[in-house]
Structure 1
């Protein structure tokens, strides 16, 4: 056991043992995303109590447990990862039906969000068995809490979780240009260090839209920065260290134009005679308003069925 956690087990028992922990239940346990001190007392108590610990990587989890002074034999660790999740879920269900308490952990953070675990939980539900969530660390909420990227109300309120984008450049670019560029709310992405530069390059089409990069969250070299999308590649190239570690990437909300300004009156008039993209470009040139804001506003009108475009005009240029 790490000397830093010598008294943690006692504190975990004292704080959490009074609660009832039923047998035959799957405990979905959040674990630290980098800083070992972010374990919760209840998580530690359940890991001590569990008959089986299901996990992505048994070696990684064994090292984590030993850091907290939790000793589990090899037979008590069960690998459940993306390549065997369906088969392993069957074994978990069998152990639950035998009355075991099974704790499931991913390599880091909250299972079942981006990490494996969703299929396991679904299988447990399908078998009529109980699941118990133990909240804790999550890279998604950690990044959101400090980025100032979530609007509190209106059409821009909340956020959209998109996770990992396609690996292939053309598919990634299509998602960004056809979907994310027109999403007014904050968008949460995840990316691995060996692909962050390609993602940054692809996001450059978003121009001045603010993007927060959060890497190595909770660790010694944690770094969080907000840059215009078009400046991300330059920022990453500023130091070799900046491309290391797992990334949470937040696309900030797109500004929405107010309908009491000249720019929107001009845009409405132009849309009656011109295709959407042409109308947006001309309105931006006439009024000096942001082309991105006008474009997003015109798209919203179109989605809402607002009568802005002439029937014969259409959207001929895309």
Structure 2
């Protein structure tokens, strides 16, 4: 069986889809997936052994200059790649407008959510086959349910299995010798309200170093790299990583002893790697999108307004929109939570 998956973004959401592929492969051992994905995250689908090919989009660039993208051949080339092969089933696992446009461009009947269950309701017009799923469940379970309905099997009642093996990826060349015992501190996030204060990260680095660990601090852009450097200033055993590919980050993550994360894509990578991890939540809801796995642990703000899903903190005592809920979580409690789950030294 050959299946085309349409799911473009974001990093964590793509990782949430992996267990659905594992379920399908257990029912149909010969199944092969192609996957339409944003070029920034195109490493992720290929982590799964049943994915044979990715079709990359650059929809963020195309949206800014659609005429130029058509004239210089980027959009026609994408259209040709999208329709180059035949599939037994085509499934839109994203169900929003940007994925629906891809579904509309793809020849053939597409499976997706119905009007009441789409993330953006007009998206359902792109689908020939419509399904309902329980919305008040974790994203991973919603995707498992949609895959099962589209491919006509019963959704398993087992714990979700990402089905990947990250040891196949080589460690990247770095400007420093990789320590033997290190932790990943994922300090960055796309929303201000997801950020834990810089001083709290620095205090956590000092606690980790006191216990004999080094710390790696990843980044996704120049601003995050500068923040990582600021955090690392407190110890010569803390290292700000340059921007790396997701395959490089996968290799580093699966070799780490543990992680502390903001609510961001790399937190879900820690879950995929089955790494002992504490993720800190304030503005968002762990029940729907939290990191998922036996080694995943959450520290959740106890403020009444959490989760608020706001990008700027609206409280009167918030400084420039910075989250009060995150500032109230102290480094001692985070370290204690992580330390209890780290491998014995």
Structure 1 length-normalised TM = 0.33
Larger CA Rg, structure 1 vs 2 = 1
- The structure where helix makes up a greater share of residues is 1
Structure 2 length-normalised TM = 0.31
